[in-house]
Amino acid sequence: MTDPLFEFLCRLGDNTLVLGHRVSEWCGVAPVLEEDIALANTALDLIGQTTMWLNLAGEVEGAGRDADALAFRRDVWDFRNLLLVEQPNGDFGQTMMRQFLFDAWHVLYLTELEKSSDARVAAIAEKSLKEARYHLDRASETVIGLGDGTEESNARMQAALDRLWPYVGEMFDSDAVDMDMVAKGIAPDPGTLRPGFDATVNPVLRKATLTRPESDFAHRGGRSGARHSEHLGHLLTQMQWLQRAYPDATW
Amino acid sequence: MYAQMIKSTGQNVKSPEEMDPQERAFQERVDAGEKIEPKDWMPEGYRRTLIRQIGQHAHSEIVGQLPEGNWITRAPTLERKAILLAKVQDEAGHGLYLYCAAETLGVSRDHLTRDLLSGKMKYSSIFNYPTLTWADMGAVGWLVDGAAIMNQVPLQRTSYGPYARAMVRICKEESFHQRQGFDIMMKMANGTEAQRKMAQDALNRFWYPSLMMFGPSDENSVHSAQNMAWKIKMNTNDELRQKFVDQTAPQAAFLGLTIPDEHLKWNEARGHYDFSEPDWDEFFDVLKGNGPCSADRMEARNRAWDEGAWVREGLLAHAEKKKARKVAAE
Amino acid sequence: MQNEWPLWEVFIRGQHGLSHRHVGSLHAADAEAAIRNARDVYTRRNEGVSIWVVEASAIAASSPDEKGPLYEPSNDKVYRHPTFYDIPDDAGAM
Ligand SMILES: [Fe+2]
Ligand SMILES: [Fe+2]
Ligand SMILES: [Fe+2]
């Protein structure tokens, strides 16, 4: 079995890697200039976080891989990101809803990681948390604004919520890796974060005049790597193209 | 340049005797290097020409996001991805600052945007060329941003205050753009055989389009003469083009790359490089909308604008509801 | 055009106590959004800076002493003085 700490760090780094990639797809084509610039900031934060998590993962693994090797030279089954973050951007509403749901979880998780027994994890969490809090603030206000906007924007936000809700449950799954992290005081049991998540999300959805879906059915398979969606492979095809096509090159 | 072929009044520059007192006072202020501010009196031609020029410059920044944005999702390392994204984000910022400067002249950003999307207003010809390999990210930063800087540095002294201040801010950000491009070129030129080939190919494709950025010779243009008198154009196109070639030729040599011009050669007597003119027919074709990517660029901008309408409207509707609720509560 | 977001003027005070300075403008649907946009556009999220936003149409400006203007900018536009100030060093990299 691979080192659970490595596995855990890949989950963190792959989440920010894949989401950062998705958000960066908006560069140059956002609905308005100010949003274009803000989305780029979010993507830049996430890429920065990725570098920290995956470099640490490589260090822990001790096989000479750095963040770039992990990001650009692994295949789909080795990725450990949540299914939520690999979902396509859809319209701007779907992108912001995905961001909001992720940020609501991310802030809670990072808040716990700040207390990690592993000082390296705590340090990355501390830096990331400041950024994640701002992402959450911005995403919440956008969800509220568009939910409580026009009839059309409300309908689109409801559709986005319905489309993405089945990917929420996976964020709160626990497995052997998590239990190992809990035992070592490195990370919390994600299952314990659900009440905090609901407390963040519910008031925002209310202000946004959106209806929280009744079913809590959850797709799984991202963080374990057992079954990603078809989307991840296409994302990686694009992201990894140069490194794969010119394996001897340095960039 | 980012603003190419800006039409002015179309008339010869007036002599001081031909000007009415107000115009004369205005021209004297410009000549003395004073800044014209939004609420100051200005000739209508000055105002209109500035709107055209600043607007076209802003459009170029925005459309200019697309050819480089084309590679953000394919950047080869996390660091390159972050640098490129930050660079393209800067260009969005430049567009934003410039639209704001234009807005001080009494035109709205949405109005300018609509004129871009309908094809009524233009943007720089250079952004109608495709970016085909990663080396193009190097070539664009090195050559395109390099050429833009040639033009933008003197514009920091332009007569219109808000435009000049926008240029100061922009120039501060631009130098990193050219440097990151050159850095990519160095890596590529000194990399594997395939990388070196990509670098040379990028230079081959971007050299002449970069020379075109400065526009055709305007020694004898009445538009150019008026715009220079108003200090909204600071140098002739040929001056800037020569300066660009003089700066770039040694850099290409440093990279071990060959500029695709067999006539390029140092002229001791002139103290400048001699070089071949680009194909101006191609330039005018591109301006007419027949650039290799013209249709793609316009489609992309139109799609972004159309698909973003519900977002802009939604957030505005929410703001109005919020305001109404606040009033009701008071 | 009828749906254009209003224009806001942005003022920023850096960490070390200089007064707020005008740094530029932007568009936003409301004041809260304008502050967020200002953070993203003009501070790149620098911590410890204080941001003011003012709807441009709410600013009254003095008029230069010129008569008979050919071009009288409409009164609902703001007449910004220095639009793009350099941000003081102590506000950090922006
Ligand atoms: Fe540019
Ligand atoms: Fe620029
Ligand atoms: Fe640039």
Q: Is the ipTM of this complex over 0.90?
A: yes
pLDDT tens sequence across A40-77? 999 999 999 999 999 999 999 999 999 999 999 999 99
Nearest ligand for residue B64 CA: 1
pLDDT tens sequence across B69-108? 999 999 999 999 999 999 999 999 999 999 999 999 999 9
In C4-93, where does DSSP find H-type helix? 31-38
Contacts of A33 in chain C (CB under 8 A): 27
Neighbours of B283 (CB within 10 A): 22
DSSP 8-state secondary structure symbol assigned to residue A114: T
Whether A159 shows a pLDDT value over 50: the answer reads yes
Please enumerate, as own/partner, the contacts of B70-73 that have beta carbons within 8 Å and a separation of 24 or more: B70/B131, B71/B131, B71/B134, B71/B136, B71/B137, B72/A24, B72/A25, B72/A27, B73/A21, B73/A24, B73/A25, B73/A238, B73/A239
Contacts of C25 in chain B (CB under 8 A): 100, 103
Residue whose entry in the numeric block shows the structure tokens 């070196």: B196
In a domain, C61, yes or no: yes
In terms of Cα–Cα distance, which of B281, B137, B133 is closest to B208?
B281
Interval between CA B122 and ligand 3 midpoint (Å): 18
How far is it, in rounded angstroms, from Cα A142 to Cα A39? 12
Provide the shortest C-alpha distance from residue B34 to chain A (in Å).
Answer: 32
Contacts of C53 in chain B (CB under 8 A): none
Looking at residue B93, its amino acid is G
- Spell A91-105 as b/e; 16+ CB within 10 A means b: bbbbbbbbbbbbbbb
Looking at residue B105, its amino acid is L
Chains touching C (at least 3 CB pairs under 8 A) are A, B
Q: Under an 8 A CB cutoff, do B22 and C80 touch? A: no
| Chain B: residue whose CA lies nearest to C30 | B319
Residue B142: alpha-carbon gap to chain centroid: 14
pLDDT reported for residue B224:
87
Q: Show the domains of chain A with their CATH numbers.
A: 4-212+221-245 (1.20.1260.10)
DSSP 8-state secondary structure symbol assigned to residue A30: S
Token pair, residue B298, equals 């316009």
Q: Are B101 and B166 in contact (CB under 8 A)?
A: yes
Q: Are C74 and C31 in contact (CB under 8 A)?
A: no
pLDDT reported for residue C77:
32
Q: How far is CA B109 from CA A194, B195, C26, C71, in A?
A: 44, 41, 10, 19
Q: Under an 8 A CB cutoff, do C83 and B161 touch? A: yes
pLDDT reported for residue C65:
53
Q: Which of residues 260-299 of B touch C (CB under 8 A)?
A: none
Token pair, residue C29, equals 């649907």
How far is it, in rounded angstroms, from Cα C10 to Cα B319? 19
pLDDT reported for residue C2:
61
- pLDDT band of A2, cuts 50, 70, 90: confident
Q: How many CA atoms lie within 13 A of B303 on its CB side?
A: 12
Residues of chain B with pLDDT under 70: none
How far is it, in rounded angstroms, from Cα B231 to Cα B8? 12
Average pLDDT over residues A212-231: 97
Interval between CA B280 and ligand 3 midpoint (Å): 24
In B104-145, where does DSSP find H-type helix? 109-117, 135-139
Residues of chain C with pLDDT under 70: 1-2, 45-48, 63-94
Q: Are B188 and B196 in contact (CB under 8 A)?
A: yes
pLDDT tens sequence across A100-123? 999 999 999 999 999 999 999 999
Number of domains in chain C: 1
Top residue of B19, B20, B94, B104 to mutate, by most chain C CBs within 10 Å, is B104
Those residues of chain C whose CB sits closer than 8 Å to some CB in chain A are 5, 26-29, 32-33, 36-37, 39-41, 44-45, 47
pLDDT reported for residue B173:
86
Contacts of C40 in chain B (CB under 8 A): none
In a domain, C16, yes or no: yes
Looking at residue A66, its amino acid is D
Residue A107: alpha-carbon gap to chain centroid: 11
Contacts of A238 in chain B (CB under 8 A): 73-74
Q: Under an 8 A CB cutoff, do B318 and A41 touch? A: no
Contacts of B191 in chain A (CB under 8 A): 249-250
Q: Under an 8 A CB cutoff, do B42 and C4 touch? A: no
Average pLDDT over residues A204-220: 97
Provide the shortest C-alpha distance from residue B313 to chain C (in Å).
Answer: 6
In a domain, C1, yes or no: no
pLDDT tens sequence across B213-236? 999 998 878 888 999 999 999 999
Whether A32 shows a pLDDT value over 60: the answer reads yes
Q: Are A174 and A189 in contact (CB under 8 A)?
A: yes
In a domain, C38, yes or no: yes
Looking at residue B245, its amino acid is V
Contacts of B321 in chain A (CB under 8 A): 148
Task: Find the CATH number of the domain harbouring C18.
Answer: 3.10.20.520
Provide the shortest C-alpha distance from residue B302 to chain C (in Å).
Answer: 15
In a domain, C59, yes or no: yes
Range of the domain at C22: 7-91
pTM of the model: 0.93
Question: How many CB contacts within 8 angstroms connect chain A with chain C?
Answer: 30
pLDDT reported for residue B312:
98
Interval between CA B2 and ligand 2 midpoint (Å): 9
A152 to chain B, any CB pair closer than 8 A? The answer is yes
In a domain, C43, yes or no: yes
Strands (E), chain B: 265-267, 272-274
Chains touching A (at least 3 CB pairs under 8 A) are B, C
In a domain, C2, yes or no: no
Q: Under an 8 A CB cutoff, do A24 and B314 touch? A: no
